[in-house]
Structure 1
């Protein structure tokens, strides 16, 4: 944290600064993001429970992208330019307000693909980032071209969002999703173009810590599902045993997911342009998989408790099992991509892919699906730890 807090424009931080850690403001930002993530996971939960799994997954992807992308942009900017001054804090608070608007608009998105409130919140967040980059362009002459490219790129894509999804308002679901997909690709391309004009001075260990903290946040969704399973035991006497087993399965899977992520750091080369982008972008698979795993457990709990989406009948057990399995497999695939394929050697460097396939197969085991999934996830931790020790 810098010692001087003033209203002057903030310049670049030292990318090799010692003892760089997350600031209280960044942790508050994470607290806001967890609300949006929880809203997206809840929407997926109700969509699958209501028998609209395909639409729910697509809508979850849209809601999650808006939340994750805003978080990523702020996190990497903060790593390079966080001054912790009054102006920086005020703009960050405005961005957080936008995130809360997104969280409030996610239920509308799931109910009728109404993007209006999400786009408003997203616009607030993105305009805050434009302000950040314009200030950085003024205060950091060395990276002025990069900062201005970010500001222009974000503004152009924001104009795209408002024209295509807010003003034109496509009536067909397919058209809306296609336009959203194109917008997402445009968003992802902005840093790729901007950073080629000069890499911003982001801090390797700070960025790694920030990404690890978000992993813990999304795993909280699975922990919440475990707690909810215990709360239903009083009202579902016929399924008390299954609910308790489900709760412990969710707990075991959470611990194993945490262990898998934090067992070893992924290789990120601060000097290689492509390395940082592959590592940062692929984390979206890890975050989405973690949050959606909790939604899958919630669907299974609803089935055992006799509840369904929007007051209807509960979804078949296979729907919840597949949601858990697919989400957990996505988490493992993401970890394999950002780390294991690069740090392990021999056939076991692909071990997480094998466990991801096994988890998907376990989804068909009926009442034993989730306990089997928990055992497989624990086995993945044990197997990977042995391989890591052997290759150390």
Structure 2
């Protein structure tokens, strides 16, 4: 069977992502549990606790396909097996996470072990360079997965420490073995395309939240305006994300890691933003918690984008930190404004304005960069 074209996402990958987005949507709904105008500290803590294993399970097989993918029967069967385990994992996502933890872990470990199986298969069947990379990743992920699965034997919060110890090892060992992985680098175009596909599906879920919320509340002039603001936020994110991803070339050592780990926070921010839109239209959250939730979604999105789509090489890393500093300063100003506004509607309006302005500034910066590159290429051509 032929290798998967690294420049093209397959229909099976799209189907796979759609199954995952169901689980992501259920996870985001953890933040939709409010009582007396407040989101409980338990819900806030459980959102990342549930989200990170979900993201890592999806990332693991996505990276396998990126490096070693083949459009053959074995890989297709593993795709479908993983979809079943994602369904099991999603069934274990609940605000009462502890009582559903075993079901969640069975799904998670099933996904990770089937990914390990594919690495072992590649290790056995490939040439020397591929074999070394596949062996290293197979052993790294097997070690981390077994540690994570042993968390079911521990009581209370201890189980989460053990779970995240396994995930930490699975993240740290590939980073420590970058000299090995350079023998089989990721296909950056395919990687950005895969994460972009997941992002656009999550944006579709935000639209679904808008539709679902408006269906359960009276349609008034204000609710129509709130719907419009939610749509503007979604469109701004789409415009900024995809215009930037198409124009910024991912180069330099570590560009793949920026895409992979930066998107954890992008995906989490989209879940938070969908809840901000839900609460803005349902009026179930008090002003203070709503403003903080809005700020968290905005900050997480802006900073993750600054990391992921930085076009700068390592030799200009100081400029990357300068750009992050600029974004942090802007977010501090936005945060002060959001937290001082006197009503939920005004916070919501300000949040929408911030997203629109952020998009316009980014597009203007991109336009200048494209023009500068064009002028530079033209000068080189005629020199």
Instruction: Give the TM interval when normalised to the shorter protein.
Output: 0.7 to 0.9
Per the alignment, residue 262 of structure 1 pairs with 242
Residues 123, 112 of structure 1: alpha-carbon distance in 2 compared, 3 angstrom cutoff: closer
TM-score between the two structures when normalised by the length of structure 1: 0.83
Counterpart secondary structure, 2:93: helix
- Asked if 1:106 corresponds to 2:90, the answer is no
Cα distance in 1 between the residues matched to 2:99 and 2:257: 30
Given that 1:150 and 1:194 are in contact with CA atoms closer than 8 Å, whether structure 2 keeps it comes out as no
Equivalent residue for 1:308?
Answer: none
- Distance in 1 separating the partners of 2:194 and 2:18: 13
CA RMSD across the alignment: 2.7
After alignment, is 358-367 or 48-57 more displaced? 48-57
Q: Deviations over 1:353-381 (max 9, x none)?
A: 44433443343322311011101111111
Q: TM-score, normalised by structure 2?
A: 0.84
Partner of 2:125: 139
C-alpha distance in 2, partners of 1:220/1:325?
22
Does structure 1 residue 182 correspond to structure 2 residue 182? no
1:373 pairs, out of 346, 351, 366, with: 351
Q: Structure 2 stretches of 5 or more lacking a match? A: 371-383
Q: CA deviation at 1:99?
A: 1.1
Residue 66 (structure 1) shift: 1.4
Alignment of 1:123 with 2:109, yes or no, is: yes
For 1:1-392, what aligned pairs fall within 5 Å after superposition? 4=1, 13=3, 20-46=7-33, 51-107=38-94, 110-112=96-98, 114-141=100-127, 142-163=129-150, 165-168=151-154, 170-171=155-156, 173=157, 175-199=158-182, 200-234=184-218, 240-265=220-245, 266-269=248-251, 272=253, 274-303=254-283, 314-340=284-310, 342=312, 351-364=326-339, 365=341, 366=343, 367-392=345-370
Measured against aligned partners, the alpha-carbon deviations of 1:308-353 in whole angstroms (never above 9, x if no partner) come to xxxxxx4313323321321121011100112247389797775544
Shift of 1:72: 1.1
CA distance in 1, matches of 2:87, 2:323: 42
Q: 2:82–2:114: 8 Å Cα contact kept in structure 1?
A: yes
Q: Is the 8 A contact 1:225 1:250 kept in 2?
A: no
Output the CA distance in 2 between the equivalents of 1:256 and 1:355.
18
SS at structure 2 position matched to 1:115: helix
Runs of 5+ consecutive residues of structure 1 not aligned to the other structure: 6-12, 304-313
Q: Give yes or no for contact 1:147–1:194 (8 Å, CA) kept in 2.
A: no
